[in-house]
Structure 1
Amino acid sequence: MTDVYAFPVLVDCWERLQPWAVARVRLRGAAAPRSVVVKWVETGSAEARTASWRLHNEYAALQFLGDVAGGGLTPRVLAADFAAGLLVLEDLAPRVALDQLLRRDGAATHRERLAAFAHARGELSAATAGQAATYYARRAELGPIDPAADRAGRLARSRDGAVQHAVALGVPLAGRAAAELAAVLDELYEPGPFLALSNGDAEANNILLHASGPADARLIDFEFAGYAHALADAVCLYIPCPAWITVGNPTATGLAGHYRRALVRGIPEAADDRRYGFGLAPACMSWALVRLQRFTLLDTRSPGDDSRLQLIETLEAAARTAQYHRTLPHLTTWVGRIATLLRRRWPDSDQDLTDPARFPPYRARH
């Protein structure tokens, strides 16, 4: 074990936090915390999270963030036993996941929590920009990793699958739009000063905060941690993730400003509108292309399926973001044509997704 408790501990009881390989464990002992969170590597199931590198990533990222961010952004690592596939973390209760609050009460009730979410995403990138070598040196101590190859593979897959679906829909990629897509991939693969640590899943389910009073937010779930374009972590403010149909206009709600002000503290280049826009628009376009790979699956579903609405909004929100920042005009037109064709192909999904009365920010996908 590493970072072992310096006090005797007895397990009182535990509860699994479904559906993940995570449990809250109640402890007994004079100096022990009341509870901890334990993550483990599962075995014996086709769906099990069996890759030990997940725990290696989480451990390295949380330890690294404890050094560079002072421990105010994430839970503390209390113990680790990689041979047994166990990681023990600080329990952040009574904080709850932001997505639970949004589903229960709606976004209008939790504007301050959403602002804390946006700020925390920007703060994470600001605190870690320019320190990739330090992080990967720590991570390499736990096992081999090739961050450049991994990033290139993800980007290539997002491009190739989406282009194939576009061809099937009768919207082949060519000319200036193809050149702009190449520029998108170049920007994301070589982000320059925007290279920062991400947990790999920058969504509202991966931030815990207090339901009332000061949010005191903490980011969680760093199993897929790695360095990437910082503005990829802002995409969740502009484009719906798998949980939502819509997320609203982050500029109008102020979330974009909260995020960007936090980011500028560590990445001054984010204050430049042109540079910022040409980082954000490619990040949004890339995510839209990743989601377009679900076209074949969604095309088999019954009329009225929320996932169809979500895909259309994902494409159109990416196009709106690029238009707002006055960049990628030809790629924006291409993506818009795909969305228009999907509206015709799925008449049940030809709806005004910008109508806040019917589709308020953070309307959940069912």
Structure 2
Amino acid sequence: MMINPQMDKNHLIDNVESLLAPAAVVDWRRMEPWTVARAELSGLRGPVIVKWVRPHAAGSARSESWRLRTEVAALRFLADDLGLRLAPRVVAADLATCVVVLEDLGPRVALDELLRTDGAAAHGDRLVSFARVRGELNAATAGRAEAYYGRRSALGAVDRVADCAGRFAGFREEGLRQAAERGVALGDGAERELAAVLAELADPGPFLALSNGDPEANNVLVRASGVPDARLIDFEFAGFTHALHDAVCLYVPGPGWLSVDAGLGEVYREALARGVAEAQDDRRFGFGLAAACFSFVLVRLQRLAALDGRAAGDDSRVQLVATVEAAARVAESFGVLPGLAGWAWRVGALLRRRWPDADVELSVLPAYAARRR
């Protein structure tokens, strides 16, 4: 939750103590650079996590206060309505002052930190737990949109259409424009397939499920040793959307990686199928997955112009090539969207010619090879 507004520490402590009276704060550790702190309070068995924003933060419709309300609604929906232990529990909240106290999931740590430090080979069981918990979230919440939005609407207006479209949907046209300007426009067949993709994502049918809105490995906490016991965090952009948006990160490199382990997708799919029977249908699952992957590709392509200006050797160039080509492989593996797959291969070839430094053999990269910042 990287935001600028600051709140006086003493005022925050007063708010927390008021919410959890008669407990008193005995230790306060800010978790920079976020507006998050870990607090120890007398009378409590362990620490809690405190998140805050200014009550009337200015900005877009999805302002900081909007996001905090969304997180509270989503976490209470999971814990109180569904009885799930997939994410932290809300201990207390004062949404008038935008202060929320959450269960501390320590000693778990962010999965991406472990992958960057030790490599994926050292954490195979944690990656499996990551894939499974994403599928479990989607499976348990499919068909429960009305219950969630009843709870969310009680905390303020919410746009279901925007939730389903995804937080970056507006970048799709820009990505297409930048690719076309460089000589790789969609052909007629690919254009028809793209229309079908957007229709699938706008109307997911049985695949409509809750997502936290950012399914990457930085938003899952696992135990560094023993049973991984994964938990999901950061529900500020939560909403009901196509479940297979949450599977993209298992097949296509996300912003932090040059490679992933696509075998994890079957772990996710097995967990999803327990709540969404249609996930067992290769054609149905494959089309939805490829649609979500190509949507992600279009979002990432809007960075093309910026990467043109980077110095040779910048990992972001290799990462974009890997993203585009991985989406093409997903479509081909399920025998769907051949026009878009062909277009993606052409985009990948264009980028390799344009950036000789990015013309590398991706298959030799280990799973979760990190993109250097």
1:345–1:14 CA distance, 2 compared to 1 (3 A): same
More displaced 10-residue stretch of structure 1: 11-20 or 45-54: 45-54
Counterpart check, 1:98 vs 2:104: no
Q: Judge conservation of contact 1:42–1:50 (CA < 8 Å) in 2.
A: no
Q: Secondary structure at the match of 2:131?
A: helix
* Contact 1:155 1:185 (C-alpha < 8 Å) held by counterparts: no
Question: Unmatched 5+ residue regions in structure 1?
Answer: none
Which letter maps to 1:324?
A: S
The two structures have a TM-score, normalised by structure 2, of 0.91
Cα deviation, residue 246, structure 1 = 1.0
Of 350, 357, 362, 1:348 maps to: 357
1:36 partnered with 2:13: no
* d(CA) in 1 for partners of 2:325, 2:275: 31
Q: TM-score, normalised by structure 1?
A: 0.93
What residue in structure 2 maps to residue 167 of structure 1?
Answer: 180
Aligned counterparts, 1:219-298, within 5 A: 219-248=232-261, 250-251=262-263, 255-298=264-307
Equivalent-residue separation in structure 2 for 1:280 and 1:318 (angstroms): 9
Q: In structure 1, how many angstroms separate the alpha carbons of the residues matched to 2:344 and 2:273?
A: 30
Residue 5 of structure 2 corresponds to: none
Give the secondary structure class of the aligned counterpart of 2:117: helix
Structure 1 CA distance for aligned equivalents of residues 78 and 341 of structure 2? 37
What is the CA RMSD across the aligned residues, in angstroms?
2.2
- 1:118, 1:237 within 8 Å by CA — same for their partners in 2? yes
- Which residue pairs with 1:14 in the alignment? 28
Distance 2:84 2:163 in 1: 28
Task: Report the Cα offset of residue 149 of structure 1.
Answer: 4.1
Structure 1 residues 58-81: Cα deviation after superposition (integer angstroms, max 9, x where no partner): 000000001354231011100101
Question: Residue 332 and residue 262 in structure 1: after superposition, are their counterparts in 2 closer, same or farther (change >3 A)?
Answer: same
**Shift in alpha-carbon separation, 1:204–1:276, aligned structure 2, 3 A:** same
Separation in 1 of the partners of 2:317 and 2:299? 15
Q: Tell me the CA shift for residue 326 of structure 1.
A: 0.5
1:45 offset after TM fit, Å? Answer: 10
1:183 aligns with 2:196: yes
- Whether 2:150 is the aligned partner of 1:141: answer no
**Count of aligned pairs between the two proteins:** 356
CA contact (8 A) 1:40 1:86 kept: yes
> Per the alignment, in what secondary structure is the counterpart of residue 111 of structure 1?
helix
Output one character per residue of 1:248-283: Cα deviation in whole Å (capped at 9) or x when no partner: 3x23xxx12211111011001101111110110001
Matched, 1:25 2:42: no
User: Which of 311, 329, 337 is the equivalent residue of 1:328?
Assistant: 337
User: 1:361 maps to what in 2?
Assistant: 367
After superposition, the Cα gap between the structure-2 partners of 1:155 and 1:189, relative to the gap in structure 1 and judged at 3 Å, is farther
Which residues of structure 2 form unaligned runs of 5+? 1-14
Q: Write out per-residue CA displacement over residues 75-101 of structure 1, whole angstroms, 9 at most, x where no aligned residue.
A: 110010111111100001101111011
Query: What is the identity percentage for the equivalent residue pairs of Structure 1 and Structure 2?
Result: 57
Secondary structure of the corresponding residue to residue 216 of structure 1: coil
Q: Distance in 1 between matches of 2:168 and 2:95?
A: 30
Indicate whether 1:124 and 2:137 are aligned: yes
